[in-house]
Amino acid sequence: MAKIVAIVKMVPDLVEELEINEAGTGLDRDWLRLIINEFDNHAIEQAILLKERDAGEVTVIAPDAEGVEDMLFTTAAKGADRMIKLAGDLEEGANNHALARAFAEAAKPYQPDLILTGVQANDDLDGPVGPLVAEYLGMPYVGYISGVTIEGNKAIVRKEYPGGLIGEMEVTLPAVLGIQAGEEPPRYVAISKVRQMMKTAEIDEQEISELNPNGGVIAKRMYLPEAAKRAEMIEGDEEEIAAKLVAIFKKAGAL
Partner 1 sequence: MNQDIYVIIEHLQGQVADISYITLAAARDLAQETGGKVLGVLLGQNAQELASTLAADSILYADHPALAEFTSDAYQKTVASLIGENEPRAVLFGNTSIGADVASVLSARLSLPLVSSCVKTSGGKLTSQICGGKIMAESELAETTTLITVIPGGYKPESGQSETAPEVILFDAPALDDLRVTLKGYIEPEAGDVDISKESILIAIGRGIQTEDNIELAEELAKFLGGTVCSSRPIVDQGWLPTSRLVGKSGQTVKPKLYLALGISGAPEHVEGMAESEVIVAVNMDPNAPIFDIATYGVEFDFFDLIDPLLEQVEEAKEG
Ligand X SMILES: Cc1cc2nc3c(=O)[nH]c(=O)nc-3n(C[C@H](O)[C@H](O)[C@H](O)COP(=O)(O)OP(=O)(O)OC[C@H]3O[C@@H](n4cnc5c(N)ncnc54)[C@H](O)[C@@H]3O)c2cc1C
Ligand Y SMILES: Nc1ncnc2c1ncn2[C@@H]1O[C@H](COP(=O)(O)O)[C@@H](O)[C@H]1O
Residue number, 10 or 100, with CB nearest to ligand Y: 10
Minimum CB–partner distance for residue 80 and ligand Y (Å): 10
Query: Dihedral sign, CA of 47, 53, 59, 65?
Result: positive
- Give burial (CB, 10 Å; 0-12/13-18/19+) of 48: buried
Total residues binding partner 1 (CB under 8 A): 87
Binding site for ligand Y (CB under 6 A): 35-36, 41, 67, 70-71, 74-75, 186
C-alpha atoms less than 13 angstroms from C-alpha of 56 in its C-beta half-sphere: 27
CB of 157 to partner 1, least distance (A): 9
Note the residue count of the chain.
255
Q: Does 135 bind partner 1 (CB under 8 A)?
A: yes
Determine if 128 is a binding residue for partner 1 (CB under 8 A): yes
74 binds, among ligand Y, ligand X, partner 1, none (CB under 5 to 8 A by kind): ligand Y
Among 141, 158, 180, 208, binds ligand X (CB under 6 A): 180
Which parts of 132-151 interact with ligand X (CB under 6 A)?
Answer: 144
Residue nearest to ligand X (CB): 120
Choose the binding region for partner 1 from 70-78, 108-116, 121-129, 191-199 (rule: CB under 8 A): 121-129
CA dihedral 108, 12, 119, 207 (to 10 degrees): 0
Residue 119 touches ligand X, criterion: CB under 6 A = yes
The item of ligand X, partner 1, ligand Y, none sharing an interface with residue 70, based on CB under 5 to 8 Å by kind, is ligand Y
Under DSSP, is residue 94 helix (H, G, I), strand (E, B) or coil? coil
Beta strands 166-172 and 57-63, pairing class: unpaired
The Cα–Cα gap between 74 and 193 comes to 8
Q: In whole angstroms, how far apart are CA 158 and each of 2, 42, 66?
A: 19, 14, 33
Residues making contact with ligand X (CB under 6 A): 14-15, 39, 119-120, 144, 180
